[in-house]
């Protein structure tokens, strides 16, 4: 990745992915296959993608905060639980074989597509937030497994987080997204450390991608997230099916 065109293209892809990650989730379903197609081994593509995710969520968190969306201390509690789980997931990802990783990623893509197709299109509505007591403890347990998955592969973790926050905690879409970016930011710090220690990060590619992801996250966090859900869902269904077929058969 030495030409100006490749750099600009990667930044653009990062911008799209950062926006998708912030609006709903699944941006890594775009960046991970692209990094692999650029020639990075799957485990290095996985580690490199975390650099972009880390910077994206720093800017996205700042964007939500600038709009007055505050999620503390609930987001910290579940974020710490996810961080612990991510340590296990990242260790698994570091040592997994490339072909196995590709097939796991393809299966996960198909599962998420099925989820997006059959998921109710009804909008989240304001209700009573359940972020204390038994609901808090249930979320802490669930977010440990979110961290395991996120530390392992990251792709599509946003959908899982939104599902938990809406069904268990009764949060609105805007607030769920604000919690999501803080949780991912917290556990990504640990994941990056593990990937870096095992030397499975291409720092140049990761930092270029991070420029786009950060810009996309900042823009989308300050934009009305409800306006983009339908378009994002349709775009992801087409893209994810294509990428899943490519990863599985080629």
Q: 168-205: per-residue pLDDT in tens?
A: 998 877 888 899 999 999 999 989 999 999 999 999 99
**Percent composition of the chain: helix, strand, coil (DSSP 3-state, to 5):** 80, 0, 20
**pLDDT of 69 higher than 90:** no
Q: How confident is the model at residue 129 (pLDDT cuts 50, 70, 90)?
A: confident
- Read off the pLDDT of each residue in 225-246 and give the average, rounded to a whole number: 59
E strand or H helix at 146, and its extent?
Answer: helix 133-152
**pLDDT of 123 higher than 60:** no
- Looking at residue 236, its pLDDT comes to 54
pTM of the model: 0.79
- Looking at residue 93, its pLDDT comes to 79
- Looking at residue 159, its pLDDT comes to 75
- Looking at residue 217, its pLDDT comes to 93
CA-CA distance, 166 to 130, in Å (whole number)? 10
Q: Which residue has the higher pLDDT, 20 or 201?
A: 201
- Read off the pLDDT of each residue in 52-62 and give the average, rounded to a whole number: 95
CA-CA distance, 187 to 81, in Å (whole number)? 9
C-alpha of 26 from chain center: 6
Question: Residue 123 corresponds to which tokens in the numbers above?
Answer: 């909008």
Q: Which residue has the higher pLDDT, 178 or 127?
A: 178
CA-CA distance, 11 to 18, in Å (whole number)? 10
Check residue 114 and give left, alpha or beta (phi > 0: left; psi -120 to 50: alpha).
Answer: alpha
For residue 122, give the DSSP letter. Answer: P
**pLDDT of 160 higher than 50:** yes
For residue 70, give the DSSP letter. Answer: -
- Read off the pLDDT of each residue in 36-65 and give the average, rounded to a whole number: 92
- Read off the pLDDT of each residue in 138-145 and give the average, rounded to a whole number: 96
CA-CA distance, 70 to 16, in Å (whole number)? 25
Percent of the chain with pLDDT over 90: 43
Please state, rounded to an integer, the average pLDDT across all residues of the chain. Answer: 83
């Amino acid at each position: 990745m030495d030409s100006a065109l490749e750099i600009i293209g990667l930044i653009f892809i990062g911008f799209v992915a950062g926006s998708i990650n912030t609006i709903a989730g699944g941006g890594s379903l775009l960046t991970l296959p692209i990094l692999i197609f650029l020639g990075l081994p799957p485990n290095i593509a996985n580690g490199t993608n975390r650099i972009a995710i880390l910077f994206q969520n720093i800017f996205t968190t700042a964007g939500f905060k600038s709009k007055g969306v505050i999620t503390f201390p609930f987001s910290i509690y579940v974020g710490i639980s996810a961080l612990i789980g991510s340590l296990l997931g990242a260790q698994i990802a570091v040592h997994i074989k490339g072909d196995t990783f590709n097939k796991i990623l393809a299966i996960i893509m198909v599962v998420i597509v099925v989820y997006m197709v059959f998921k109710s299109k009804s909008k989240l509505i304001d209700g009573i937030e359940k972020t204390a007591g038994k609901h808090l403890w249930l979320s802490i347990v669930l977010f440990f497994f979110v961290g395991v998955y996120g530390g392992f592969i990251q792709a599509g973790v946003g959908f899982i987080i939104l599902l938990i926050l809406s069904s268990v905690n009764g949060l609105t879409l805007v607030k769920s997204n604000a919690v999501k970016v803080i949780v991912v930011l917290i556990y990504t710090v640990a994941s990056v450390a593990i990937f870096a220690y095992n030397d499975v990060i291409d720092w140049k590619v990761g930092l270029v991608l991070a420029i786009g992801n950060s810009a996309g996250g900042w823009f989308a966090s300050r934009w009305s997230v409800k306006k983009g859900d339908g378009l994002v869902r349709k775009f992801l269904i087409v893209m994810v099916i294509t990428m899943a077929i490519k990863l599985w058969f080629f």
